[in-house]
Amino acid sequence: MDIKVILKVAKSQLSESGISEVDSEILLAHILGLSRMDLHNSVLVQNTVSALNDPDVIEEQFFTLLDRRLNHEPVQYLTGFAPFRYLALEVGPGVLVPRPESELLVDAVLAHIKNLPPPVSVIDLGAGSGALALAIATEAPDARVIAVEKSPEAIYWLKKNVSVHAENVRVVEGDVADVLPGIKCDVVIANPPYIPDSASLPRDVVGFEPHVALFGGPTGMEMPALFIAAASRLLKTGGIVVIEHTEEQGIAIAGELALDFEDVALHNDLVGRPRWTSAVRK
């Protein structure tokens, strides 16, 4: 099995389909149990292949995964993992793939937590795979984190990740409209479905990731409005909400926050696009 030839063929096919050539290295490294950088160590690769005893099976597995990627199935579903900050989260059909654009939001929440007397209580609404909740729980271990999710399919992945990374995170299955009655917290993270129902999305996303986690109603603001109402109910006076949204929704989000919140601020993601808003509960 010639690794260079296999990767050259795979990269050509991916490029023709408008998919990143790097995905071929990710898939091959996954099958071999190596890192992408390890693929450049020919001796290590050869020893690994030899230890696995059947190069033909490895090649067959690789091209099977490649065919699925060429069909635009997310590479994270194919490997079963998605990186987020310092975590490798298990993901698959039924849960949204964590986006690196959310990492600055986590930074801001962690900075805010440092300025509060412990223990700080955090509720993650629409937790999905648990990326935000688990990043906070592992990087601010004294925080008390509750991860709320409605979808049974996403709950499956959420519980798997909690069991691996931070067993002290409390998982609650329920609707944001009435979940956790009587509970008050210091911070609410809201990651609602916010894409307008009529929006066009890449095949990788719309063809495989759960629509319930993506689309927020005819205007895209229907679900964010429900999440903001939930944050208002759950937060202590002076508590903060941070909510993700599209780059066009900043004004609409600020309008929804105006009644119960103050100090509304729009924040940019890693590539400079307005992607999330913070506000303080009056």
Asked if residues 277 and 235 have their Cβ atoms less than 8 Å apart, the reply is no
pLDDT at position 62, please? 94
Distance CA 20, CA 113 (A): 37
User: Is 146 exposed, middle or buried, given 0-12, 13-18 or 19+ CB atoms closer than 10 A?
Assistant: buried
Name the residue type at position 122: V
- Do 123 and 194 lie in one domain? The reply is yes
pLDDT in tens, the chain (282 residues): 678 889 999 999 999 999 999 999 999 999 999 989 898 888 888 888 877 767 788 899 999 999 999 999 999 999 999 999 999 999 999 999 999 889 999 999 999 999 999 999 999 999 999 999 999 999 999 999 999 999 999 999 999 999 999 999 999 999 999 999 999 999 999 999 999 999 999 999 999 999 999 999 999 999 999 999 999 999 999 999 999 999 999 999 999 999 999 999 999 988 889 999 999 999
Looking at residue 203, the DSSP 8-state letter turns out to be: H
**Residue listed under structure tokens 């409005």:** 225
- Do 65 and 197 lie in one domain? The reply is no
- Do 115 and 41 lie in one domain? The reply is no
Asked if residues 221 and 194 have their Cβ atoms less than 8 Å apart, the reply is yes
C-beta neighbour count of 18 within 10 angstroms: 9
pLDDT at position 46, please? 82
pLDDT at position 12, please? 96
What are the backbone dihedrals phi and psi of residue 259, each rounded to the nearest 5 degrees, phi first? -65, -45
Distance CA 254, CA 251 (A): 5
266 DSSP β-pair partners: 277
Contacts with 5 (C-beta within 8 Å, 6 or more apart), sequence order: none
| Domain's final residue, options 71, 97, 130 | 71
- Do 185 and 224 lie in one domain? The reply is yes
Asked if residues 221 and 257 have their Cβ atoms less than 8 Å apart, the reply is no
Asked if residues 164 and 190 have their Cβ atoms less than 8 Å apart, the reply is no
217 DSSP β-pair partners: 196
Domain, as residue range, for 230:
85-281
Asked if residues 134 and 195 have their Cβ atoms less than 8 Å apart, the reply is no
| Helix residue ranges per DSSP H, 71-130 | 75-79, 103-114
Domain count, the chain: 2
Asked if residues 280 and 261 have their Cβ atoms less than 8 Å apart, the reply is yes
pLDDT at position 45, please? 82
Tell whether 151 is covered by a domain: yes
| Domain's final residue, options 71, 105, 121 | 71
Looking at residue 96, the DSSP 8-state letter turns out to be: P
| Domain's final residue, options 71, 103, 121 | 71
